[in-house]
A and B are shown apart, each in its own frame.
Chain A
Amino acid sequence: MSGFSVTEPTPRSKRIAATLVTLYAVITMIPLLWIFITGFKSPADAIAYPPKVMFEPTLEGYVNLFTTRTRQTQEYLDANPPDTWYEEIVRQYDMTVVGPSKFGERFFNSVIIGFGSTFLSVFLGTLAAYAFSRFRIPFADDLLFFILSTRMMPPVAVAIPIFLMYRQLGLSDTHLGMILLYTGVNISLAVWLLKGFIDEIPREYEEAALIDGYTRFQAFYKVVLPQAATGIASTAIFCLIFAWNEYAFAVLLTSATAQTAPPFIPTIIGVGGLDWPAVAAGATLFLLPVMIFTILLRKHLLRGITFGAVRK
């Protein structure tokens, strides 16, 4: 009798749900955990069969990821004893470090292009969404549909035209080119998501601010923006995830200067055989920024995913 409620699940069904969710979480996290572990294995341990769960951790993968190395003669190695910890790791294979690899640079490109395009998408998206939400715009519905229609085919379908266009405009293999491209793809998502969030904010708040002595723009950033924070945060995460993970355009349009991490990481495989620990180390580092960004904004994201459907 006691504690019976129509809406509250019973303790038994709660336990079952919790078990299922935990199981699902473990299953989905195993590949990530495997990548993380492999990054600290030696190349021999990484390809051992049966797979090793217990092993001696080494930073070899990370050293290989960040450096370029060359094989040296025994005389040279004897004459120049290792002077750093990473040089010592490399010496096991009679090699020396000759300089940094491209990984740092590629990773930095990813950060600039990913966050740059996310900022631009969210910035333009917020302004456009506000305008669509609040002002009487001629053909507003048609314009919104047009914006949405840019996502109706896979972006790669227009890869060739964009490739040719970018070559003409000198945008190939530039940071600006990639930022513009990813912004172009993300902007429709940003406008539509943010319009939904801004529609949920009653106009009365801005009207009150207008009467309280503020201009339309001041009312926008003092009253509307703080309340749209949830929507802006979740939109930013969606945009960042797309731009960060994008592979096809990055392969096609970037090479020497603006190449991002996704097309770079597979090329590690080719450097001196199958260097799985280095690939795993690169993948681990590549996962971190999106993870950190999402964790920082998770409070907003959780509320944002309901798209403002739940009123307080």
Chain B
Amino acid sequence: MAEVNIQGVTKSFGTQRGVADIDLHIADGAFVVLLGPTGAGKTTTLRLVAGLEQADAGEISIGGRVVNQETPAQRDVAMVFQQYSLYPHMKVRDNLAFPLRSPILNVAEDEIARKVQQIAEVLRISHKLDNKATELSGGEMQRVSIGRALVRDPAIYLMDEPLSSLDAKLRAELRVELKRIHAEMAATLLYVTHDQIEAMTMASHVGVLDEGRLVQVGTPRDIYENPRTAYVAARLGQPRINLLPADLFDYATPTGAVQMGLRPENIVLGSGQAASVVRVEHLGDQTRLHLKLADHDVITLVDASESANPGDTMRVTARDPLFFDAQGDRITQA
């Protein structure tokens, strides 16, 4: 495992921008998750580190060695693709052994057999080793795909939305599995997703991308509590943060503030302004209230035991609001 440094990396495809001026330090043993919507440049960043794309500008170094001119094989990285990555003409066993049989590693066959068996057990696919790759279910395919990365001991594992094609139950299982593997193997990971739950649960650091730019990097908690922009604030948190006019509540508003961000859990019921209940969602462990507050839609969380009906009127006040200026940048109160 090694640290990876991305400095001022820019890449465009013709007139279309991929990523611009990315600076990202991935410490040895870190689990960095890149978060952003489709087209934000997450996959491009991953492919630049892998060597599948050449950077237009900037420098990428792995373990202190600048790798801009190196081929993917020379960079010693392992990658899990979103889909299509199992070699369909090979058995599961040969798929897993494929990286170990490469001319670069050239591992002895008995050592390969041992490693393949070990990884198959970790990912619970040992009973499918002699199946053809095309005879697996989607979840099994993706586990083999992850396994093919894990049999190696590369400088860094790169994962491109590896769980996005799986069903919810398997996704939850593999999240825990990946986190465990990360801890056990002391692995360095760069992981791309648009799923904030994956980011929050697995990452040691989260990088939020917006239209090819890295807007903020930090621990998941830091990003949740101290988002630098309204965009970042909206990426994390379920339900989403409520973005409202800054002067909606009688709260000391800093100069230049246009928008106020209020996490659903920071809307306090009991006193203050009147809001009418539009819809009630019972989720079992919690209840979501959709409110109408002076023509604005607001979502808040209440205890599951709370009883509310559409049409009811409630009184709400704001707690710990975040203020943003006209550009969406955060204004920290002096």
Residues in chain A within 8 A of chain B (CB atoms): 202, 204-205, 207-215, 218, 223, 226-227, 312
Contacts and interface: CB of A to CB of B under 8 A. Distances in A.
B73 A214 contact: yes
Contacts of A213: 73, 99, 102-105
Interface in B90-148: 98-99, 102-105, 134, 148
Contacts of B83: 204
B166 to A, nearest CB: 17
Given A208-B81, A211-B52, A213-B104, 11 more contacts: A202-B84, A204-B81, A207-B52, A208-B85, A209-B87, A210-B72, A211-B51, A211-B78, A211-B79, A212-B99, A214-B103
Report whether over half of chain B's contact residues are helix, strand or loop; otherwise say mixed.
loop
A211 B73 contact: yes
Measured as residues with beta carbon below 8 angstroms from the partner, the interface class of chain B is 20 to 34
Contacts of B241: none
Contact of B98 (A209, A227, A312): A209
A208 B90 CA distance: 14
Main secondary structure of the interface of A (DSSP, over half): helix
B88 A227 contact: yes
Interface of B: 50-52, 71-73, 77-79, 81, 83-85, 87-89, 98-99, 102-105, 134, 148
Contacts of A215: 71, 73, 103
B168 to A, nearest CB: 25
9 tightest CB-CB pairs across the interface, nearest first?
Answer: A213-B102, A212-B99, A213-B104, A204-B84, A226-B89, A210-B72, A202-B84, A211-B72, A213-B73
Contacts of B71: 210, 215
A205 B52 contact: no
Contacts of A312: 134
Nearest to B154: A211
A210 B73 CA distance: 6
A212 B84 contact: no
Which of B78, B85, B134, B148 has the largest count of A CB atoms less than 10 A from its CB? B85
B134 A211 contact: no
